[in-house]
Structure 1
Amino acid sequence: MVFQEIFEKYIWVLQVFCVVALTLVAAVIVNKLLRHFLHKASLSDNILDDILIEALTGPTKWMVWLLGICFAGYIVGEKTQSPIFDAVGSVRDLGIIVLITWFSIRFSKSYESRYISYKAAKKQSVDVTLVSLFGKLFRASVIITSGLVVLQTMGINIAGLLAFGGVGGIAVGMAARDMIANFFGGLTVYLDQPFKVGDWIRSSEKEIEGTVEDIGWRRTVIRTFDKRPLYIPNAVFTTITVENPSRMTHRRLYETIGVRYDDVDVLPIILGKIKDLLNQSSDIDSDQTLMVNMNEFGPSSVDFFIYAHTHTTDWKLFHEIKEKTLLQISEIITTHKAEIAFPTTTIQLSAMENEKINELTVTSKTS
């Protein structure tokens, strides 16, 4: 009889123990099932199932423990009538909201990175900046929605909070105007797309030049050519002129070369040969403006210029083409018994000065 009374009195402890034990067993089973499904998903070509299982892994494990612990807490609260256990329902609801938010964010980030990698592996073009924009907008929407649902679950009047926000928003806006300006600057970059991740950009106004590594809501990261990172607030890009050399269609070859005045007679032939060289070169785009003309009579040379465009926009390859072309031009000049001029000075002497120089020369020879 005494044993039965003790058993009935503490049966809730056994119930709590059983719930926790079953929760542990369920967590182990769920973990093994998720691993099995993840292995199966990795064998398929569809990346969506991989992303879904990976995103579910963490939140699902915690969901099992959340529901189990909350159920055990409900049993304890029913028996002890302790006020603290009245919050079990709210904690459960808040936990579920947090886990769903966690899953959505994990899914978004994983899908964004996997999608870009998948397109790159297939050698298909993908706008990384645009994909990143949609991912960040989705995550921001999830966080804001979850925050509002959490507030509503906690019994906070959202309508009153929004009304207060209308009044307090002015003060907050004044205090955070730089942050807001950077946000809208980032939004402008995302929408107008003057550049994207991987582009080479520069601006002489702010001495900015390098490769874009990341475009965030507040700042853009640019890696300079000496490998230094630049963190630039997005608001800057709404007030400066940005050049994007990555989007050039050709590279320009523009050089001025001078020959001696003694070579003026053969200069038309040299210019014709150089023009033929450029027209026949597979590296030069003959459909673009191509000019080879005498430019001016310089102080110590007769100058001409070459103006052409290469097919390639690659900086390294362009300089190799430029080197090869200039050496070929030098060979054409040499072939026609001409020479590339260098700065010289001609001194005109009077007859008297010539006689004195001759006398000094004779004197030096006899001595």
Structure 2
Amino acid sequence: MNDLITQFQTYITAQPNDWGTSVLFITIASFIAWIGWRILQGRLATLAEKTPFHWDDLLLDALKTPVSTLIWCWPATVSLGFILQDHFGSKINWLSTVKLIVVISIFVWITLRLISNVEEYVLASKKRDETTVQAIAKVARLFFMVIGALTIMQAFGLSLSGLLTFGGVGGLIVGLAAKDLLSNFFGGMMIYFDRPFKVGDWIRSPDRQIEGTVERIGWRMTIIRTFDKRPLYVPNSVFSNIVVENPSRMLNRRINETIGLRYQDADKMQLIVNDVKAMLETHPDIDAKQTLIVNFDKFGPSSLNFFIYTFTKTVNWIRYHEVKQDVLLQVLAIIHKHQADIAFPTQTLKLEPQEIGIAGELSGSLSNLQADPQR
């Protein structure tokens, strides 16, 4: 490309007064170079599709538009230089800086496009954590954008040491003025590195009225979709000061139930407890490796209570309730198999003989009053 431009410059220098013809020649040459690039890019894309790797496809897609832009912008800068040189009669020195800025901008553009393509490809394959991939992509974009900006500033003749010194003082001022914005930014970084939750997790906080599914983790705020489908926008700095529960990372779900038998079924309690425990130990959806307890617990006001404490293998909310229902139905069947039953709230009244006599006299007086209302 540089050799071609050098030849153009040599040709045009030979005809300094005819810049119109030179610009036309450069434009035609740029068009031919653009056509050649499109043909080459098409051939490379065909070859890349036949390879088992996808990185070459991503690289070619990132190069496609920026290289086409460079093919047009670089000769356009050369043409602009000849036009201005012919108009002012002297060489334009700042055009070399413009060319350098064009090259830097094209390089940063290609890099950003490549990062976006890689991010989309990795997320589409669903082999990596979405939150981590997005965090790495954002940091990479920010890094190359800062490097590109610093390089452009240096191309303009600015001293990087002075710029960094000014940036330190200015950063202190900006930090004091945008304290909340920076706290949210570093709160987002904490979420990315500590990873208390990721996109798609169900989280809740006992400190705040926050519960739902994480939809997006941004630099400033996290979007949570509540169970009634309302979006909840939480600043990232909030997560530095609250306790966050992540039920999505549970290994098991717990079944903790108390069941009451009638007092007349006391002699059957031990058999029922043994059968329920044996049933849980062989249940295909109960994790027998975890804590499993079935024991007579206490004497209730109207029942003899035993409790079940065990864990399911599934953590899915819907499947958990299906397993819990099956367990409770089997417990009920075991109770009925032993000719026992579930107790229901009852109350026994004990009346002494003297109280019975008083109650009889009161009932007789009430009957007489009803028969003779004038009395």
Q: TM-score, normalised by structure 2?
A: 0.86
SS at match of 2:166: helix
Does the 8 A contact of 2:202 with 2:214 survive in 1?
A: yes
Residues 207-356 of structure 1: matches in 2 within 5 Å? Answer: 207-349=209-351, 350-352=355-357, 355=360
Q: Distance in 1 between matches of 2:364 and 2:36?
A: 114
Q: Distance in 2 between matches of 1:96 and 1:37?
A: 23
In the TM superposition, residue 173 of structure 1 has moved relative to its aligned partner by 1.0
Q: Distance in 2 between matches of 1:277 and 1:285?
A: 12
Residues 55-70 of structure 1: matches in 2 within 5 Å? Answer: 55-70=62-77
In the TM superposition, residue 83 of structure 1 has moved relative to its aligned partner by 8.0
Deviates more, 1:36-45 or 1:308-317: 36-45
Q: Distance in 2 between matches of 1:184 and 1:138?
A: 16
1:193 matched to 2:204? The reply is no
In the TM superposition, residue 354 of structure 1 has moved relative to its aligned partner by 6.3
Residues 1-367 of structure 1: matches in 2 within 5 Å? Answer: 11-81=18-88, 86-118=93-125, 120=126, 124=127, 126-349=128-351, 350-352=355-357, 355=360
In the TM superposition, residue 356 of structure 1 has moved relative to its aligned partner by 6.7
Deviates more, 1:347-356 or 1:42-51: 347-356
Which amino acid in structure 1 is aligned with residue 348 of structure 2? T
SS at match of 2:242: coil
Q: Distance in 2 between matches of 1:49 and 1:99?
A: 19
In the TM superposition, residue 204 of structure 1 has moved relative to its aligned partner by 1.4
Which amino acid in structure 1 is aligned with residue 161 of structure 2? A
Does the 8 A contact of 2:255 with 2:308 survive in 1?
A: yes
Q: Distance in 2 between matches of 1:22 and 1:164?
A: 45
CA 1:151/1:359 → structure 2, altered by over 3 Å: closer, same or farther? Answer: same
- Please report the RMSD computed on the Cα atoms of aligned residues, expressed in angstroms: 2.5
Q: Distance in 1 between matches of 2:362 and 2:265?
A: 30
In the TM superposition, residue 358 of structure 1 has moved relative to its aligned partner by 9.1
Which amino acid in structure 1 is aligned with residue 118 of structure 2? Y
Q: Distance in 1 between matches of 2:112 and 2:42?
A: 21
User: Percent of pairs identical after alignment?
Assistant: 40
> Which residue does 1:3 correspond to in 2?
none
SS at match of 1:27: helix
In the TM superposition, residue 359 of structure 1 has moved relative to its aligned partner by 7.4
Give per-residue Cα distances to partners, 1:9-63, cap 9 Å, x unaligned.
8622011012112212322332333233234323332110111011111211111
Q: Distance in 2 between matches of 1:45 and 1:116?
A: 19
Q: Distance in 2 between matches of 1:358 and 1:303?
A: 40
Give per-residue Cα distances to partners, 1:100-119, cap 9 Å, x unaligned.
1111111112112212323x
Q: Distance in 2 between matches of 1:141 and 1:30?
A: 30
In the TM superposition, residue 85 of structure 1 has moved relative to its aligned partner by 5.5
Does the 8 A contact of 2:298 with 2:306 survive in 1?
A: yes
Give per-residue Cα distances to partners, 1:293-323, cap 9 Å, x unaligned.
1222222222211000111112111111001
CA 1:230/1:304 → structure 2, altered by over 3 Å: closer, same or farther? Answer: same
Does the 8 A contact of 1:77 with 1:86 survive in 2?
A: no
Does the 8 A contact of 2:225 with 2:231 survive in 1?
A: yes
Q: Distance in 2 between matches of 1:165 and 1:257?
A: 69
Q: Distance in 1 between matches of 2:225 and 2:39?
A: 44
Does the 8 A contact of 1:183 with 1:218 survive in 2?
A: yes
Q: Distance in 2 between matches of 1:109 and 1:19?
A: 34
In the TM superposition, residue 266 of structure 1 has moved relative to its aligned partner by 1.3
Which amino acid in structure 2 is aligned with residue 189 of structure 1? I
Which amino acid in structure 2 is aligned with residue 99 of structure 1? I
In the TM superposition, residue 194 of structure 1 has moved relative to its aligned partner by 1.5
CA 1:251/1:165 → structure 2, altered by over 3 Å: closer, same or farther? Answer: same
Which amino acid in structure 1 is aligned with residue 76 of structure 2? I
In the TM superposition, residue 355 of structure 1 has moved relative to its aligned partner by 4.2
Q: TM-score, normalised by structure 1?
A: 0.88
In the TM superposition, residue 227 of structure 1 has moved relative to its aligned partner by 2.5
Does the 8 A contact of 1:300 with 1:344 survive in 2?
A: yes
Unpaired runs of at least 5, structure 2 = 1-14, 369-375
